[in-house]
Structure 1
């Protein structure tokens, strides 16, 4: 269980840190996604900061377990919101979303199980 806990937390932290970076540097891909979902581009820094906070929270969870669990829950909620944004415009390009959502959901479940928060 420890190996799954460490691996998933690091993997989810890495994925969300990379995504946060693309949002914060105003990369073309997230800009196109924002336009496709008809969301204001002014939200990009906020969304990037949210992803960065989640990434750092997952790493902080190694020291303060409840922070990691709350960060993983926050990321699950973030990606539920992303799904709603896709669904709102009828987008069926959900492969990237699914990879992130499955990763952060598995991280949340493993955090709950590993720390006996059930």
Structure 2
């Protein structure tokens, strides 16, 4: 299983519950996409396809949270992986999921954490 951790400053975090102006939303998506692209290139990440993606979301606080609301941020991160060449595309032929889970509290107070886990789904026969 391959993993990638993306820590996102609270100023760039995107939630499905946010009501952002389109330009502010685009700026945040671009930041997450470029950050993930950089991290994937740094790790020379190449993923087998098809692959199951599990996204563990580490929130800033330990209170109640809905991990599914991080879908915009996770989608931007998956697009960054496509830009980095980690897989051919993030369509349904190559990527299963993502499956959203609550992760442990983010280690830095002003950041959110997306912990992506990639589980190979190739059948060996």
Same fold per superposition (TM over 0.5): no
Between structures 1 and 2, the one with greater strand share: 2
TM-score between both structures, scaled by the size of structure 2: 0.30
For CA contacts below 8 A with separation 6 or more, give which structure has more relative contact order. Answer: 2
TM-score between both structures, scaled by the size of structure 1: 0.31
